[in-house]
Amino acid sequence: MSYKAINWSGVFPAVSTQIKKDFSVDLEATHKVMENLINDGVSGLVVNGTVGENTSLTLEERKSIVEVAVDAAKGKVPVLSGVAELTTAKAKEMTHAARQAGADGVMIMPPLVYSPTVRETVAYFRDIAASTDLPIMLYNNPLVYKNDVTPEVLTTMVDCENIVAFKDSSGNTRPFIDIPNEVGDRFILFAGLDDVVVECVAVGAAGWISGMSNAFPREGETLFRLAKQGRFAEAMELYHWFMPLLHLDFRPDLVQCIKLCEEMVGRGSSITRPPRLPLEGKVLAEVKAVVEKALANRPQLPDVGL
């Protein structure tokens, strides 16, 4: 495989996993969610991520979700699977399962729970990369995972040919400048936090892994393309409308918020698997009010080639 030919770009929703009332995985409904996203023009799918409730799923469930995504995509867009594990061995096992299921790549988070040193983080990523021929996106989310995969850490892995992309959810735009300054276009850079996407695109992000694009995929892809095309006046008008929704991606209960949005717009169910519990009381009312206001003022979208 020529990893230099990997050209991931655009909006890749971090797809939700649909859950039945008995808390089993609803593969049929998940397939429908994915089909609808692709029909609305998204550029890729990331399954088994945070929004996909990765850590609440078994290995077999995650593998089945990859299979469903591959079937829904039908080669039209790339399918990446999240890899979020406690140990190197388990991460290799999930990476292998994703490959067997037909994934086009994997998005690997640093080890969960244990806070590794920089040396251990690099060794973790290198060991997984050496175990597979799949293209790999590394995922940095220091606020949640207490492990900062800085540009300095990333650039020590330029010799790992199948590490091709980097998702940054730090909220800091500096990596989008610092990484190319150090290693040119060696890595494809993705924005990871919804409410700083325009800023990240303005300084070089090639793609956006988005939570809220599950519920508003056309708005997400339009916003991204406006920014990418340098049409910032139009982008900012849409960004102002979108921002209260995008802020929901940056909360501990982001999965419940995003899935509630999906339900309110008729794109999925709000059911999550415990320990995640449904929103209730004041929090539920506040989130519903955000969505209802957005729907009442939903804008006409400019033409971006969708």
Question: pLDDT tens for residues 210-227?
Answer: 999 999 999 999 999 999
- Given a contact cutoff of 8 angstroms between Cβ atoms, the answer to whether 18 and 25 are in contact is yes
The answer to whether the CB of 106 falls within 8 A of the CB of 83 is yes
Residue 57: CB atoms within 10 A of its CB come to 18
The per-residue pLDDT for range 225-264, each reduced to its tens digit, is 999 999 999 999 999 999 999 999 999 999 999 999 999 9
Task: From the candidates 63, 167, 228, 259, give the one annotated as an active-site residue.
Answer: 167
- Is 145 one of the annotated active-site residues of the chain? no
Interhelix angle 27-39/59-73, rounded to 10 degrees, is: 40
Q: What is the mean pLDDT of the chain?
A: 96
pTM: 0.95
Residue among 128, 185, 181 nearest 151 (CA): 181
* Contact predicate 66/49, CB 8 Å: no
Task: Give the per-residue pLDDT at 265.
Answer: 97
239 belongs to the catalytic site: no
Q: What is the mean pLDDT of residues 164-187?
A: 95
Average pLDDT, integer, range 166-176: 94
Residue 273: predicted pLDDT: 97
Structure confidence at residue 251 (pLDDT): 92
pLDDT in tens, 182-191: 999 999 999 9
Q: Is 209 annotated as a binding residue?
A: yes
Percent of residues, the chain, with pLDDT higher than 70:
100
Q: Please give the pLDDT value at position 201.
A: 97
Quote the pLDDT of residue 222: 98
Tell me which of 63, 124, 139, 259 is the catalytic residue.
139
Residue 1's pLDDT is: 65
Residue pLDDT, tens place only, 281-293: 999 999 999 999 9
User: pLDDT digit string (tens) for 88-129?
Assistant: 999 999 999 999 999 999 999 999 988 899 999 999 999 999
| 47, 137 contact by CB (below 8 A) | no
**C-beta of residue 10 within 8 angstroms of C-beta of residue 227:** no
Q: Token digits for 286?
A: 């506040």
Cα–Cα distance between 111 and 123 in angstroms, integer?
11
Does residue 8 carry a pLDDT above 90?
yes
